[in-house]
Amino acid sequence: MLLHIPAVLTPEELAHARSLLLAAPWQDGRSTAGQQAVQVKNNLQLPPESNAARELAALVRSALFRHPLYMSAALPHTLMTPMFNCYQGGMTYGSHVDNAIRRDPLSGQNVRTDVSCTLFFSDPEEYEGGELVVEDTYGTHSVRLPAGDAILYPSTSLHRVEPVSAGARLASFMWTQSMVRNDTRRAMLFDIDMAILQLRQKVGDCEEVMSLTATYHNLLREWAEV
């Protein structure tokens, strides 16, 4: 499931984050790449242990956890510490699949990568190129979102970042270990949850809505790992 999550950050949070990113100590992004990815990765990243990265990671984590679409779609068990990258001057990241298991750079905890997320800090008008291209069973999707918005997609997807030919593309990237590791099941639960929300707004907590809610929780109880 590929899902656009709008307005993850408030305007005030976005402005503060951008000011931190513009003054941050960037390093070669290949230092955090795996064996496969290092061959196709060319970008800049913030050292996760830097003060700016720690403050930004806390901001992003808090923003995601308060957003109902993220919570419903990702069903997070563990959110790996958000990290931050910059693409400029032709930088790119070729086609790759994210490692199945990643070690959190701060806690050292191993995280299974079920759901990948990119949160944009630059508006599309501020740079040229830089599309996130995700390939899945439904085709190829090209993503350029407004600053403050995020995209969720299965970590099993082949994806890439096209070269940035002008300007700078600033973003956060992170992985979630979901309580429900299977993407098809997560998508089904998300669809049911959204249907419950829409029905509740139209008809309230009637018997049919309560029955559907029970079905949702029974499926979650059947499939979740906690």
Q: How confident is the model at residue 35 (pLDDT cuts 50, 70, 90)?
A: low
Tens digits of residue pLDDT in 15-27: 999 999 999 999 9
d(CA 31, CA 25): 14
What's domain 3-178's superfamily in CATH? q2cbj1_9rhob like domain (2.60.120.620)
Instruction: Check residue 149 and give its pLDDT.
Output: 98
Amino acid making up residue 196: I
Summarize the confidence of residues 42-61 as an average pLDDT: 97
Tens digits of residue pLDDT in 64-103: 999 999 999 999 999 999 999 999 999 999 999 999 999 9
Instruction: Check residue 157 and give its pLDDT.
Output: 95
* Spans of all domains in the chain: 3-178, 183-223
Instruction: Check residue 30 and give its pLDDT.
Output: 76
Instruction: Check residue 181 and give its pLDDT.
Output: 96
Summarize the confidence of residues 122-142 as an average pLDDT: 95
Say whether pLDDT at 32 is over 70. Answer: no
Q: How confident is the model at residue 190 (pLDDT cuts 50, 70, 90)?
A: very high
Question: Which pTM was predicted?
Answer: 0.94
**221 Cβ neighbours under 8 A, 6+ residues apart:** none
Angle at 17 between CA 16 and CA 22, to 5 degrees: 100
d(CA 53, CA 70): 21
Closest-CA residue to 84 (of 57, 108, 59): 57
123 is in an annotated binding site: no
Cα dihedral 83, 86, 87, 89 sign: negative
96 is in an annotated binding site: yes
Instruction: Check residue 164 and give its pLDDT.
Output: 98
Say whether pLDDT at 174 is over 70. Answer: yes
Task: Report in angstroms the alpha-carbon separations of 105 from 92, 93, 133, 194.
Answer: 23, 21, 26, 34
